[in-house]
């Protein structure tokens, strides 16, 4: 089955994966306790306030993790890419999800059953350490994001979001177009601003020659400018 193959490759045979160095037996055991399923665009992966059943690993596609804020305005907390985990914070905290997850394009996500994962982790301190390191790194990102979102002005926040998209998803083959076709609303939710202001500021950037817009495609023309705008706030 194709979906399981790509999952296996990504999770167990990629050197960046936290599962790369676990024993062959453990890999087989985890694989036996994993279920994959596919999601179409805009489908719910998990809902705020429900209980995690395992570690969800994104195998293909893109998923947004977001919280509803005051007045229905969403705040995107994180974007996931293939090979990344979703909802592991709640799992390890022993809590319900604090946010919801929705696919932003056709995706495949696989869930490693909680008890199977925990039993492997108990026997392999390195795996626990890798998870610890991963969570700690994400907490650092979250803290920096808090400061950026609260202190930078609209232009700085949008520029930072675009740089974040580039970092997370890279470019299409042209080496210029950001490989993520978000709606203007999602760009706004990522940058903590209204949709109107996201649109307006994007078109200002385009007028200034920093980026070029073709529908949802965003071409990065002057990345140095983008970095400068992000840094000055």
Partner DNA sequence: CAATTTTTATGTTTTATAACAAACTAATAT
Partner DNA sequence: ATATTAGTTTGTTATAAAACATAAAAATTG
- Residue numbers at the binding site for DNA (CB under 7 A): 71, 73, 153-155, 183-185, 192-197, 199-200, 202-203, 213, 215-216
Beta carbon of residue 162, minimum distance to DNA (angstroms, whole number): 14
Return d(Cα 100, Cα 202) in angstroms, integer.
27
Of residues 40 and 51, the one with the C-beta less far from a second copy = 51
Beta carbon of residue 196, minimum distance to DNA (angstroms, whole number): 4
The full DSSP string for 91-108 is HHHTS--SSEEEESSSEE
197 binds, among DNA, a second copy, none (CB under 5 to 8 A by kind): DNA
Would you tell me the crossing angle of helices 154-169 and 125-151 to the nearest 10 degrees?
150
Of residues 135 and 212, the one with the C-beta less far from a second copy = 135
Of residues 135 and 199, the one with the C-beta less far from DNA = 199
Beta carbon of residue 70, minimum distance to DNA (angstroms, whole number): 8
**Inter-residue long-range contacts of 211-219, CB under 8 Å, 24+ positions, other chains counted:** 211/162, 216/181, 216/182, 216/183, 217/177, 217/178, 217/181, 218/162, 218/165, 218/177, 218/178, 219/174, 219/176, 219/177, 219/178
Q: Interface with a second copy by CB under 8 A: which residues?
A: 67, 69-71, 73, 75, 77, 88-95, 98-99, 121-123, 125, 128-129, 131-133, 135-140, 142-147, 149-152, 156, 192, 232-233
20 binds, among a second copy, DNA, none (CB under 5 to 8 A by kind): none
Q: What count of Cα atoms within 13 Å lies in the side-chain half-sphere of residue 179?
A: 13
Beta carbon of residue 154, minimum distance to DNA (angstroms, whole number): 4
151 binds, among a second copy, DNA, none (CB under 5 to 8 A by kind): a second copy
Instruction: Say what the alpha-carbon torsion angle 185, 187, 191, 193 is, to the nearest 10 degrees.
Output: -30
Of residues 122 and 228, the one with the C-beta less far from a second copy = 122
Return d(Cα 114, Cα 109) in angstroms, integer.
15
194 binds, among a second copy, DNA, none (CB under 5 to 8 A by kind): DNA
Angle at 36 between CA 27 and CA 170, to 5 degrees: 90
Of residues 30 and 102, the one with the C-beta less far from DNA = 102
- Taking CA atoms, 73 is separated from 64, 103, 203, 214, in Å, by 15, 18, 22, 26
Of residues 178 and 192, the one with the C-beta less far from a second copy = 192
Beta carbon of residue 26, minimum distance to DNA (angstroms, whole number): 42
Beta carbon of residue 152, minimum distance to DNA (angstroms, whole number): 7
């Amino acid at each position: 089955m194709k979906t399981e193959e790509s999952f296996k490759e990504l999770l167990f045979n990629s050197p960046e994966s936290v599962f790369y160095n676990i024993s062959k037996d453990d890999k087989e055991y985890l694989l036996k306790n994993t279920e994959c399923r596919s999601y179409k665009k805009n489908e719910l992966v998990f809902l705020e306030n429900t209980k995690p059943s395992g570690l969800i690993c994104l195998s293909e596609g893109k998923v947004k993790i977001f919280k509803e804020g005051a007045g229905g305005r969403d705040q995107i907390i994180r974007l996931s890419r293939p090979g990344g985990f979703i909802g592991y914070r709640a799992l390890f905290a022993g809590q319900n999800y604090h946010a919801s997850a929705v696919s932003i394009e056709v995706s495949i996500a696989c869930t490693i059953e909680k008890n199977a994962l925990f039993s492997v982790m108990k026997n392999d301190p390195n795996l626990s350490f890798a998870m610890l390191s991963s969570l700690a790194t994400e907490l650092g990102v979250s803290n920096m994001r808090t400061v950026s979102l609260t202190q930078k002005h609209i232009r700085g926040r949008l520029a930072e979001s675009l740089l974040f998209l580039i970092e997370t998803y890279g470019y299409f083959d042209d080496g210029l177009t950001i490989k993520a076709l978000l709606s203007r609303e999602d760009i706004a939710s990522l940058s903590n601003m209204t949709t109107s202001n996201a649109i307006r500021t994007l078109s200002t950037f385009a007028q200034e020659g920093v980026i070029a817009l073709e529908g949802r495609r965003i071409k990065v023309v002057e990345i140095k400018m983008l970095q400068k705008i992000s840094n000055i706030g």
